[in-house]
Amino acid sequence: MDWKLELVFVPVSDVDRAKDFYVNKVGFNADYDERPTDGIRFVQLTPPGSACSIAIGEGLNDAPPGTAPSLQIVVADIIKAHEQLKANGVDVSDVDIQDWGHFVYFADPDGNKWALQYLPQRPNG
């Protein structure tokens, strides 16, 4: 039996600001944005090519904004990813080259931390 992680909740203070950041600056796809009931807004965003999405919204959980665990995305080209984020106005770190992989770090407007990872020894990162 397969167990597939498909959704991670990311607590934010301003859903529209966070959606704009993830879609227009980072490049996630906006999959869903609905209010199924009063007090709940569910927004699903997916990194290009990923089987796992993030959910932001209202009334989804009790976690304070900015307290998501550190999240990581694997990319096939860390330089291109770094350039894209920087060109879109994301405050992004320099490329951090380690023996086990190359990394770029950034945070969303609420301080939720992200890492992009490139693994040179793995096909397509």
Q: Give pLDDT tens digits along the chain (125 positions).
A: 999 999 999 999 999 999 999 999 999 999 999 999 999 999 999 999 999 999 999 999 999 999 999 999 999 999 999 999 999 999 999 999 999 999 999 999 999 999 999 998 877 65
Query: In 3-state terms, what secondary structure has residue 35?
Result: strand
Cα gap 44→55, rounded to integer Å? 5
All domains of the chain, ordered by start, with CATH? 1-60 (3.10.180.10), 69-125 (3.10.180.10)
Sorted by sequence, the CB contacts under 8 Å of residue 33 that are 6+ apart come out as 19, 41, 42, 43, 44
